[in-house]
């Protein structure tokens, strides 16, 4: 079994958009970009993403708390596009049904996401047997896996990403993403001087002397 990848979730999000589940489309895309807990994500208002001048913000602050998240150029373009399309109020929650004006219900979130995932899988005819069921934390997990892979799955990356996610230790992160750190193997070599371009440079011999002496050579090596 494995978690949904960001690419797979974006394909799912495209289906959500086509079904006019715009609030869930944004929830999915934002989740894979920011990696925050779903409960915190649901608190985001359009005023957290857009300035009063109706230009996209570059930093995400939720309920006056700095999340430390820099909003990427892609996300700024996306936020502006959706904002212009849906024309919500700045005080309106981002993940709100554009017709009913009702925000996503956290209590029924898992059930609704899985229902959508089942519909998407049936229509797309993809093989989802190996995939874990889709949950609210699936977006956060996809983000975490992307960051870990970007950092070559190092143990330090597991520790740092885990700290950002609020995990107690590396084993908790391993259990969360179902991946393990890749420990670098020590390579014992005996040709490192050759890799440093080591050379023996022979000085020209005087005609009156044919014997080769050590002082006739210069050894060079690059650091």
Q: Are residues 10 and 97 in the same domain?
A: yes
**Do residues 13 and 123 both lie within one domain?**
yes
Indicate if 134 and 153 belong to the same structural domain: no
pLDDT of residue 63: 86
User: What's the pTM?
Assistant: 0.82
pLDDT digits (tens, 9 = 90+) for 1-19: 899 999 999 999 999 999 9
Asked whether residue 55 falls in the same domain as residue 146, the answer is no
User: Which pLDDT value is given to residue 188?
Assistant: 92
| End residue of a domain, out of 113, 139, 165 | 139
Q: Do 38 and 67 share a domain, yes or no?
A: yes
Q: Are residues 134 and 162 in the same domain?
A: no
Sign of CA dihedral 83, 88, 93, 99: negative
User: Do 63 and 172 reside in the same domain of the chain?
Assistant: no
Q: What is the pLDDT of residues 101-142, one digit of tens each?
A: 999 999 999 999 999 999 999 998 888 888 999 998 999 999
SS (H, E, C) 133-168: CCCCCHHHHHHHHHHHHHCCCCHHHHHHHHHHHCCC
Is residue 98 domain-shared with residue 160, that is, in the same domain? no
Cross-strand partners of 2: 131
Q: Which of 139, 161, 193 is the last residue of a domain?
A: 139
Q: Which domain holds residue 170?
A: 141-177
Q: What is the pLDDT of residue 25?
A: 96
Residue 112 lies in a domain: yes
Residues of the chain with pLDDT under 70: 203-215
Domains: count for the chain: 2
Among all chains, which residue has been given the structure tokens 């909003």?
71
Residues 147 and 135 in one domain: no
Same domain, 80 and 105: yes
- Nearest Cα neighbor of 180 from 143, 154, 141 is 154
pLDDT at 212: 62
What was the pLDDT predicted at 12? Answer: 96
Does 37 share its domain with 134?
A: yes
**Within a domain: residue 219?**
no
Establish if 81 belongs to a structural domain: yes
């Amino acid at each position: 079994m494995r978690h949904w990848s960001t690419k797979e979730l974006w394909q799912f999000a495209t289906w959500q958009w086509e079904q006019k589940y715009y609030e869930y489309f944004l929830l999915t895309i934002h989740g894979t970009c920011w990696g925050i807990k779903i409960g915190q994500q649901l608190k985001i208002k359009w005023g957290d993403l857009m300035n009063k001048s109706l230009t996209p913000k570059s930093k995400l602050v939720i309920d006056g708390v700095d999340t430390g998240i820099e909003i990427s150029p892609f996300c700024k373009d996306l936020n502006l596009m959706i904002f212009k399309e849906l024309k919500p109020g700045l005080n309106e929650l981002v993940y709100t049904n554009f017709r009913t004006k009702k925000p996503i219900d956290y209590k029924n979130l898992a059930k609704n996401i899985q229902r959508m995932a089942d519909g998407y899988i049936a229509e797309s005819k993809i093989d989802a047997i190996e995939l874990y069921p889709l949950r609210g934390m699936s977006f956060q997990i996809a983000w975490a896996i992307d960051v870990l892979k970007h950092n070559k799955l190092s143990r330090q990356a597991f520790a740092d990403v885990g700290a950002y996610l609020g995990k107690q230790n590396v084993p908790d992160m391993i259990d969360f993403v179902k991946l393990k750190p890749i420990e670098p193997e020590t390579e014992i070599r005996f040709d490192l001087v050759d890799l440093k371009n080591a050379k023996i440079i022979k000085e020209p011999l005087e005609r009156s002397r044919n014997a080769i002496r050590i002082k006739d050579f210069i050894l060079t090596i690059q650091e």
